[in-house]
Amino acid sequence: MQTEDEKLNQNSFIFVLAPKGSFMSKNLHFIFNPSELGAGTRGASLGPEAIRAAARTKGSTIFAQYPIQVVDQHNDLLDHKSPYTFAKNIDGLGKVFASLEQNITSCLQAGAFPLLISGDHSAAAGTLSALKNNFPNKRIGVVWIDAHADIHSPYTTPSGNLHGMPIAAALGLDHHHLAKNQLDDATRAHWDQLKSTAFLPQDLVYIGVRDTEAEEDAVMAELGLKNYTVAELRDRGLAACLQAISEQLQACDVIYISFDVDSIDPLETSYGTGTPVPNGITFAEAQEILTYFAKAPQTCAIEMVEINPCLDDEKNKMAEKALDLIEHIISHLS
Ligand SMILES: [Mn+2]
């Protein structure tokens, strides 16, 4: 329950931001995208159901209150060795993205807000492409809350795991000048198919990125990408940083929020995620960031990713924490 003060804050916040088009309402749909084709460790596909299990254990009825759309999954490809060394399972990811786009389109056409719970973070490239196709004339801002920059391409990736590449895919970037890998024709064709130009580099804001490779650092510097480090959030204060992000994204018509649970310090959640990194944001900071953007009328979609119950050292704690964040998001959507 919100206090009167919180309601007042929420209303004044919306007034100050002057909505350019309101997509927000309590009319929301969950979209489960259980693909884990882009991850390097197994189990992220179980993330959406782990959150649902956490809700049932807690007695939460949120998954009874809103429709749940489920994206087609092609995780059976993981039972084979992928022939695409530098973009593993990219053949299946294209199929996942086609289904994802159908689901996002039908959600938006129903006038509903898409709250996505996905397996690995490669999903975000499909979400962004689908949002762009639904809002072809709108400028999309992206807030990427993550320990990782996820801006590799198949030409630079050290692992071949596509969950490290969604930003490059959605910006339509190859990084040829930094290439370390030689792609075969089939990989190149699949990658070119996956790429979109969903948004502009200046409309991307990172929060909490702290584990990058040299090629990613080079691309981030070249594009002038802004990363609010954990230290900066603490030094300037979270509220001031969130205000600055709003100002940077002022020219954007809609904003997409991509939340990787590994942005949070694993000591505050658990190790139930594919690539945990120490010294992250606190759980309280994650809550404040997501609440802020849930209230913002420009926010057109929120996605939560990389919950992996197979890796959880504290039973289902990561999913419980993610559920807590999702409940917060829903309670603050205008
Ligand atoms: Mn990520």
Sketch the domain layout of the chain as residue ranges. Answer: 4-332
Ligand 1 centroid to Cα of residue 273, in Å, is: 10
Report the relative pairing of strands 140-145 and 204-207 from DSSP bridges: parallel
User: Measured between alpha carbons, how far is 30 from 313 in angstroms, rounded to an integer?
Assistant: 27
Q: Could you give the angle at which helices 4-17 and 283-295 cross, rounded to 10 degrees?
A: 60
User: Do residues 33 and 45 touch, judged by C-beta distance below 8 A?
Assistant: no
Sheet holding 226-228, edge to edge: 68-70, 28-33, 113-118, 299-305, 254-260, 140-145, 204-207, 226-228
Instruction: Determine whether 261 is exposed, middle or buried from the number of CB atoms within 10 Å of its CB (0-12, 13-18, 19+).
Output: buried
Q: What are phi and psi of 260, to 5 degrees?
A: -95, 125
C-alpha distances in angstroms, 117 versus 65, 144, 176, 254?
A: 16, 15, 32, 20
Ligand 1 centroid to Cα of residue 274, in Å, is: 10
Q: Which two tokens stand for residue 152?
A: 């590799």
User: Measured between alpha carbons, how far is 177 from 299 in angstroms, rounded to an integer?
Assistant: 34
Ligand 1 centroid to Cα of residue 301, in Å, is: 16
Ligand 1 centroid to Cα of residue 118, in Å, is: 11
Ligand 1 centroid to Cα of residue 112, in Å, is: 25
pLDDT at 174: 98
Q: Which of 279, 324, 307, 330 is nearest to 121 (CA)?
A: 307
Averages of pLDDT over runs of 10 residues in the chain (334 residues) are 45 37 65 98 98 98 97 98 98 98 98 98 98 98 99 98 98 98 98 98 98 98 98 98 98 98 98 98 98 98 98 98 98 90
pLDDT at 25: 43
pLDDT at 128: 99
Ligand 1 centroid to Cα of residue 176, in Å, is: 22
pLDDT at 14: 36
Ligand 1 centroid to Cα of residue 237, in Å, is: 24
Ligand 1 centroid to Cα of residue 6, in Å, is: 31
Ligand 1 centroid to Cα of residue 98, in Å, is: 21
* Prediction pTM value: 0.92
Question: Which amino acid is residue 134, in one-letter code?
Answer: N
Question: Domain 4-332 is in which class?
Answer: alpha beta
pLDDT at 5: 46
pLDDT at 26: 75
User: Do residues 91 and 190 touch, judged by C-beta distance below 8 A?
Assistant: yes
The helix (run of H) or strand (run of E) holding residue 287 is helix 283-295
Ligand 1 centroid to Cα of residue 209, in Å, is: 9
pLDDT at 262: 98
pLDDT at 12: 37
pLDDT at 334: 76
